[in-house]
Structure 1
Amino acid sequence: MNKRNQLRLLALAGAMAPLSAMAHTGHEVAGFVQGILHPLSGADHLLVMLAVGLMAVGKTHDMSSRTRIAVPAAFLLAMVAGTLLAMTGLSVPFVEQGIVVSVIAAGVLLALAVRFSLVAGIAVASGFALFHGLAHGAELPLAVHPLAYIAGFLITTSVLLVAGTRLGQLADSYSMGMVSRIAGVAVAAFGVLAAV
């Protein structure tokens, strides 16, 4: 791998070093800027979204560009659905625990290089996203501008999903399949530490 690609991987790893472990810890949810920053404020969001992007590249039986778009798009849609459900007053117990489980599961799936059909990949990504969306929606009554906040976190979520997909494509192009496995181990280890 040339130095430029090594620097890209290093920059991505640096971006994964968050200020706090979980992003749902009483932060400000006032508007657009806070929505943009929210997914970057906790490793739970960063790791799951990057993991879903990685899974979309190399962990499905269908290696088409359709998969690279469909799996992250399903994540976004399910996250919005979870947000809207929570905003309607639906109370789901153990949302934070569901988020931790999504981190661990995403890591294990990557580490084991589990291959999915397109439908299964969409279902797994959607399941992860639902918990993240429910957590977002539960916070929104505190927001001054809820729609602006939602727009902000959707933009950053999209960027993180694309970053994961691009990292997977980069690893694929250099025949570095171990990158996803190593990332999976790191993601799962973080999830286990967060659970304790």
Structure 2
Amino acid sequence: MNTNVIKIAALGLAAALLPSVAFAHPGLDHLGGVAHGFAHPLFGFDHVFAMVTVGLLAFKLGGRALWLLPASFVLVMAGGGALGAAGIAVPFVEVGIAASLIALGAIVASGVAMPVALAVGMVGFFAVFHGHAHGAEMPQDVSGLSYAFGFMAATALLHVGGIGLGFAIGKVGDRLGTAAVRTAGGVVAAAGVGLLSGII
């Protein structure tokens, strides 16, 4: 494999995972709402996997999906976050989060070419659950707006990381790159099954 391809793939993966490393230490209590919000999606593998997979799906669909899917997810997630912060219940949040991994991962793994409008609707549906989880766990002593900005920024960064990872994998070549993307989708779907069944 070309060393340049390996470097590009490593950079794409780093873009997706580096924020979680940067915030994976104690001491967030003294930081503001932006830092708390930014850290929240990065502490759970379920959120990280889902966000990166949205980016991979956006890459796979291409065209306007490259911005429509991430933008739809982030905007709808903000609404879900507002519900969670306000204490308005959304049923089956944890199930919805696990289901997002299964569905998004399976679609990427299968290589199915779905309409962009359907993909936007699907990621928007799952964004409600992820957003609600973020909002429900917002610390009481931080600004809701700054907290929301933080988790929206982290989510967007993870989407960009997923898109970058897709482009990096694509540099490997059509056959090998497609196999790698599908394998990544399969891993995410399996993680969702593990989460839903309580194994993980």
Q: CA deviation at 1:143?
A: 4.4
Q: CA deviation at 1:167?
A: 1.4
> Do the aligned residues in 2 keep the contact of 1:82 with 1:133 (CA within 8 Å)?
yes
Q: Which residue of 2 is the match for residue 34 of structure 1? A: 36
The secondary structure found in structure 2 opposite 1:93 is coil
Q: Does 1:77 align with 2:79?
A: no
The secondary structure found in structure 1 opposite 2:87 is coil
In terms of mean alpha carbon deviation, does 89-98 or 4-13 score higher? 4-13
Q: Which residue of 1 is the match for residue 49 of structure 2? A: 47
Q: Does 1:166 align with 2:167?
A: no
Q: Does 1:104 align with 2:102?
A: yes
State the Cα deviation string for residues 69-118 of structure 1 (Å, max 9, x = none): 11111111110111122233321122111111111111111111121111
> Do the aligned residues in 2 keep the contact of 1:143 with 1:149 (CA within 8 Å)?
no
Structure 1 regions of 5+ residues with no counterpart?
A: 20-26
Which residue of the other structure, out of 101, 121, 133, is the alignment partner of 1:123?
121
Q: Which amino acid aligns with 1:147?
A: L
Q: Which residue of 2 is the match for residue 56 of structure 1? A: 58
Q: Which amino acid aligns with 2:186?
A: V
> Residues 98 and 30 from structure 1, CA distance in 2 versus in 1: closer, same or farther, beyond 3 angstroms?
farther
Q: Which amino acid aligns with 1:32?
A: V
Identity across the alignment (%): 38
Q: Which residue of 1 is the match for residue 194 of structure 2? A: 193
State the Cα deviation string for residues 165-189 of structure 1 (Å, max 9, x = none): 1111222343211121010111011
Q: Which residue of 1 is the match for residue 17 of structure 2? A: 15
Q: Which residue of 2 is the match for residue 4 of structure 1? A: 4
Instruction: Quote the Cα distance in structure 1 between the aligned partners of 2:139 and 2:168.
Output: 40
Structure 2 regions of 5+ residues with no counterpart?
A: 22-27
Indicate the structure with greater helix content.
2
> Residues 55 and 143 from structure 1, CA distance in 2 versus in 1: closer, same or farther, beyond 3 angstroms?
farther
In terms of mean alpha carbon deviation, does 133-142 or 98-107 score higher? 133-142
Q: What RMSD, in angstroms, separates the aligned Cα atoms of the two structures?
A: 2.4
TM-score normalised to structure 1 length: 0.83
